[in-house]
């Protein structure tokens, strides 16, 4: 039987992340709630909720951690070629609720994006902490992603595509935005082939937490109002 700490409803403190299990990787504790205060406290320490509707709220901090430095993102030759054939626009925060709903509806493993999760992140969006990056074909939303912005970090949660490469364009739009907002690290949580293809890599939990201690203390820069064509996402400076 797995034995992990249970969180109190009256206290948003989390156990030391060193207590997280190796198997399943990163499971730290359970319980509590999805209040904005608890969620923000969790993300600042590299902890996030992930659970199915029949489970209690489970909190995770995997080791290693999957991250991307925006200036090290990978652009394939085929993606750059394909981008010249489309006339899409990148927008931010125009359709947050639609983005998270699409992420729920279109994922095979969508059980973790429950109604409770949707409600919690919609509230974080209303409070200015959660954001969406969207790909539009005219007036039609065709792809996007959402996550939390805290200081110099964007904590990615999920993405979707209704057209080929749309989620990749959304990610490149996020990287382009990172230049404006001084976001220096994008969190992808756990490794998968899709994230690896975009330039994500793995670092230790300890190294990740060291970055968070510094970057989450930066001042949050406001997200811009203007929109950009997909072509502008390929102009990010390399370091």
User: Residue 238: its pLDDT value, please?
Assistant: 47
Inter-residue contact 30 to 197 (CB < 8 Å): no
Model confidence band, residue 63 (pLDDT cutoffs 50, 70, 90): very high
Which pTM was predicted? 0.95
Q: How far apart are CA 8 and CA 48, in angstroms?
A: 16
pLDDT at residue number 239: 40
- Nearest residue to 11 (alpha-carbon basis) of 30, 27, 32, 39: 32
Look at residue 142 in the predicted model and tell me its pLDDT.
Answer: 98
pLDDT value for 151: 97
Among 88-102, 107-121, 122-136, 219-233, which stretch is predicted with the lowest mean pLDDT? 107-121
Nearest to 158 by CA among 130, 199, 138, 177: 130
Longest dimension (CA), the chain: 54
Q: Which residues face 140 on adjacent strands?
A: 137
pLDDT at 237: 58
User: Is the pLDDT confidence value at 71 over 80?
Assistant: yes
Q: What is the mean pLDDT of the chain?
A: 94
Give the integer Cα–Cα distance in Å for 43 and 53: 21
Percentage with pLDDT > 70 across the chain: 96
Q: What's the pLDDT score for residue 108?
A: 67
Query: pLDDT, tens digit, for every residue of 108-122?
Result: 665 689 999 999 999
User: Hey, what domains does the chain have and what are their CATH numbers?
Assistant: 6-62 (3.30.70.3550), 66-234 (3.40.630.70)
pLDDT digits (tens, 9 = 90+) for 169-208: 999 999 999 999 999 999 999 999 999 999 999 999 999 9
């Amino acid at each position: 039987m797995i034995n992990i700490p249970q969180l109190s409803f009256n206290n948003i403190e989390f156990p030391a992340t060193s207590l997280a299990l190796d198997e399943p990787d990163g499971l730290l504790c359970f319980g509590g709630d999805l209040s904005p205060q608890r969620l923000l406290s969790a993300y600042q320490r590299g902890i996030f909720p992930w659970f199915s509707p029949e489970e209690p709220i489970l909190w995770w901090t995997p080791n290693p951690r999957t991250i991307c430095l925006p200036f090290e993102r990978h652009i394939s030759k085929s993606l750059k070629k394909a981008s010249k054939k489309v006339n899409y626009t990148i927008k931010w925060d125009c359709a947050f609720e639609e983005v998270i709903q699409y992420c729920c509806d279109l994922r095979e493993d969508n059980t973790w994006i429950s109604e409770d999760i949707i409600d919690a992140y919609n509230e974080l969006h209303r409070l200015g902490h959660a954001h969406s990056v969207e790909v539009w074909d005219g007036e039609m939303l065709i792809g996007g992603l959402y996550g939390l912005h805290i200081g110099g970090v964007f904590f990615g949660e999920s993405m979707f595509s209704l057209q080929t490469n749309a989620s990749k364009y959304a990610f490149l739009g996020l990287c382009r935005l990172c230049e404006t907002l001084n976001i220096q690290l994008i969190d992808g949580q756990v490794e998968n082939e899709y994230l690896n293809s975009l330039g994500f890599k793995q670092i230790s939990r300890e190294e990740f937490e060291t970055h968070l201690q510094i970057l989450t203390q930066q001042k949050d820069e406001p997200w811009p109002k203007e929109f950009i064509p997909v072509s502008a996402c390929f102009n990010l400076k390399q370091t």
